[in-house]
Structure 1
Amino acid sequence: MHVQRFRKFNTKDAYPEQTLDNDVCMAVRAGNTVYLRGQTAMDFDGTIVGIGDPAAQTENAMRCAKVLLEEAGATLQDVVSIRIYITDRAYREPVYRVVGRWLKGVFPVSTGLIVQGLAKPEYLMEIDIVAEITPAA
């Protein structure tokens, strides 16, 4: 199986306040399956978008996810699984409304988790996405 890695980076660059040194990437395509790194309030330039606003953070996460999927040869229509992490139950509705708008008519399986915290204290949500590209006939 051929594996492609997109937007490689090191955690010491993304999280300079932490003593990490891990080589990771934003997306991996393994055959026809695309796995995305958890998408958050951080945009591609490293700016945190929507501090204090879970809907704005989710808009950023989904906008980034769309770009990453397309770079890997997939689309939002190819999404088969999502896992949404929120740091407060009150964020569920605003986050899910945004995700629902981006994935209307896609029908992925979905898991939602309420967690104590995420990688940066400003993050209110994170979404993991897996997509399966249908081979051309």
Structure 2
Amino acid sequence: MPTHTRIRPFNTKQAYPEQKLDNDVCMAVRAGNTVYLRGQTAMDLDGNIIGVGDAAAQAENAMACAKVLLEEAGSKLEDVVKIVIYITDRAYREPVYRVVGAWLKGVYPVSTGLIVQGLAKPEYLMEIDIIAEIPAQRA
């Protein structure tokens, strides 16, 4: 019996055809009551890039996708316990954090923020990594 459920599996050849990759990954994994999301970016769930040049629009897309994926795993945004936000320029911190903060208002996850030199695609200005824990009474 599997100990976890893989949600929306795909191969990196599909998401990054311009790169010579061939990795089997998925958008989310539920292991027991814990849900791990793949880093959410400007790429929507259909593979389109949203908000080129606009960090806030990319964060809005990332959080909308995160909500869908969490729900597919039996979780909710209010179950989020940890986030890591990656931005490619310090100037993006305020617009990205405002968007993420609006989506997670009242949730109080632990949070780490990093400024990085680049992300998987040059269009990506931000990425958010999310872990959620489904409460036992809802699991």
Partner residue in 2 for 1:10: 11
TM-score (norm 1): 0.98
Partner residue in 2 for 1:29: 30
1:89 and 2:90 correspond: yes
What secondary structure, in the 3-state scheme, does the structure 1 residue paired with 2:136 have?
coil
1:56-95 deviation line (CA, Å, top 9, x unaligned): 0000000000000000000000000000000000000000
- Unaligned 5+ runs, structure 1: none
What secondary structure, in the 3-state scheme, does the structure 2 residue paired with 1:57 have?
helix
Deviation, 1:2, is 2.3
What secondary structure, in the 3-state scheme, does the structure 1 residue paired with 2:58 have?
helix
The one-letter amino acid of 1:56's match is A
1:80-125 deviation line (CA, Å, top 9, x unaligned): 0000000000000000000000000000000000000000000000
Partner residue in 2 for 1:56: 57
- Unaligned 5+ runs, structure 2: none
Distance in structure 2 (CA, Å) of the matches to 1:83 and 1:119: 16
Partner residue in 2 for 1:128: 129
Structure 1 vs Structure 2 CA RMSD: 0.9
Distance in structure 2 (CA, Å) of the matches to 1:27 and 1:62: 14
Deviating beyond 6 angstroms after TM superposition, the runs of 4 or more aligned structure 1 residues are none
The sequence identity of aligned pairs, in percent, is 80
Deviation, 1:45, is 1.1
What secondary structure, in the 3-state scheme, does the structure 2 residue paired with 1:41 have?
coil
TM-score (norm 2): 0.97
